[in-house]
Amino acid sequence: MFRAVASRAVPRAARPVTQSTFCAPNIYFQGRLRRGYASEAEEKDLVIIGGGVAGYVAAIKAGQSGLKVACIEKRGALGGTCLNVGCIPSKSLLNNSHLYHQILHDTKNRGIEVGDVKLNLAAMMKAKDTSVSGLTKGIEFLFKKNNVEYIKGTGAFKDEHTVAVNLIEGGGETTVRGKNILIATGSEATPFPGLTIDEKKVITSTGAIALQEVPKKMTVIGGGIIGLEMASVWSRLGSEVTVVEYLGQIGGPGMDKDVAKQAQKLLQKQGMKFKLNTKVVSGDADGEGVKVTVEAAKGGKEETLDADVCLVAIGRRPYTNGLGLENIGLEVDERGRLIIDQEYRTKIPHIRAIGDVTFGPMLAHKAEEESVAVIEYITKGYGHVNYGAIPSVMYTHPEVAWVGQNEQELTAANVKYNVGQFPFSANSRAKTNLDTEGFVKMISDAETDRILGIHIIGPNAGEMIAEGVLALEYGASSEDVARTSHAHPTLSEAFKEAAMATYDKAVHY
């Protein structure tokens, strides 16, 4: 069991930089550090490049710890991709498009009769923008509260302790020096060869949250979480959506196979079309719309998909353009990630990196955990992130959420396990809400009953998974969860019943 869990953390532990590289007696580094200091009084304790989730959380935590901090952000608004063009605006659209879809298709059964229902897309986009602006201003307030200097501009290394900043307000350039420097520049959408992103016809998630009209047809390249969430929004609003996925399941390899199968079935029921085990051969956006040529992943007859808009959602890649890494001798690996040790240090020990720009899942909450840990390393000499207990959530309807390992991974690792499952159709709260699709699935070690993974598809899955994360963090058994009282009637009772089914038998199914 522990070998299987550890294998998920290998990319962080297996670093080419040895511990001896960072020892205090290392004369090479001592010399570099001495030469880097011009005047200690002029330096910040910490300079952070990037004001996204990783950067701004680290800045606030550092300020709370009494450090003198400067955070450099080129967007002109804090929060990074997540808050400005990712997690937050997409959830606004997902929530409101779900309400629209529900009013159109799911009110008669609830005793609610409505008249002529119309979509006001401009107003829906305005509601999204209002959510975003309120949150970014909130972060600026927290910066002021914790004495964090906010520098609006693009930062690049001048030397190992100095960052040059091209200011975006008023122009000009300034420099800021730091005893410690944290790289938190995040990631960008991975482009698809042959299709030029214009965020109008060929779009990434950034364009997908800002379309001015509902496309009649949309082709989505990539059936991962981002692709499926954006596909859900526009499908609900009236677009004919086709998702092309190279793998044999949606949701990516982290999603449990049973959950992925159920999710696809329910999304198809909502009107989305899927082409799995299918690769995109080429794309053409020269005409009015976008033509995407596909064929079976193993080869076969080609087929052309016509659409008004094509969403490229094949993943994200670390963003290091213009950072001036060459000026300080920092290199990236074959996937563009900054190489770090277990304390987030690059080969230059006072320069660290966290979040999407380095190893691990590209998730905002993973970046937040690293933000706290890296400040603790700087201020206390120790920190911790449990990479085996990082949840994932897909905010479609029904929601999908999971933490820990899935059946595919455990089977591949030859781990013996037990599985318990409980459907929401047997849950009293779900039945009264008329929202019964999906289930909770729990996996535990066959010998110790320690929980190895939890997978949920159903209402409120994204909130419910927090209990699963806590269970993994504390090493709980399925029996521990099963013997914990859950309020009645609640959706969380399905979680308890799944635990009962794992070590014994569920009562209500």
Active site residues: 488
Looking up tokens 């997540």 gives 82
The answer on whether 91 is annotated among ligand-binding residues is yes
77 known ligand binder: no
What does the alpha-carbon distance between residue 391 and residue 225 come to, in Å, rounded to a whole number? Answer: 13
Let me know: does 148 contact 60? Beta carbons within 8 Å.
yes
Q: Is 364 annotated as belonging to a binding site? A: yes
Instruction: Flag whether 208 is marked binding.
Output: no
456 is in an annotated binding site: no
- Is 115 assigned a ligand-binding role in the annotation? no
462 is in an annotated binding site: no
Neighbour count for residue 107 (Cβ, 10 Å) = 13
CB 397 within 8 A of CB 98: yes
Q: Residue 371: which H helix or E strand, with range? A: helix 364-380
Query: Helix, strand or coil for residue 281?
Result: strand
Name the 3-class secondary structure at 113.
coil
Q: What's the rounded Cα separation, in Å, for the pair 476 and 449?
A: 8
Percent composition of the chain: helix, strand, coil (DSSP 3-state, to 5):
35, 25, 40
Could you tell me where the DSSP H helices lie in 425-460?
428-432
- Residue 384 labelled as part of a binding site: no
Q: Where are the alpha helices (DSSP H) in 37-86?
A: 53-64, 80-85
- Largest pairwise CA distance in the chain: 78
Tell me which DSSP letter residue 507 carries: S
Is 228 annotated among the ligand-binding residues? yes
Does 245 carry a binding-site annotation? yes
Q: Rounded to an integer, what distance in angstroms lies between the CA atom of residue 305 and that of residue 509?
A: 44
Mapped onto helix, strand or coil, the DSSP state of residue 32 is helix
Q: Is 36 annotated as a binding residue?
A: no
Tell whether 229 is in a known binding site: yes
Q: In degrees to the nearest 10, what's the CA dihedral of 339, 341, 343, 349?
A: -70
315 annotated among ligand-binding-site residues: yes
Six-digit token string for 212: 């001015």
* 181 belongs to an annotated ligand binding site: no
- Annotated binding residue at 227? yes
Check the annotation: does 225 bind a ligand: yes
Q: Name, in order, each residue with C-beta under 8 angstroms of 391's C-beta and a sequence gap of 6 or more.
A: 365, 401, 402, 403, 465, 466, 468, 469
Whether 387 and 8 have beta carbons less than 8 Å apart is answered as yes
**DSSP character at residue 337:** P
Detail the residues annotated as belonging to a binding site for NAD(+). 222-229, 245, 315
Detail the residues annotated as belonging to a binding site for FAD. 91, 155, 185-187, 356, 362-365
Detail the residues annotated as belonging to a binding site. 91, 155, 185-187, 222-229, 245, 315, 356, 362-365
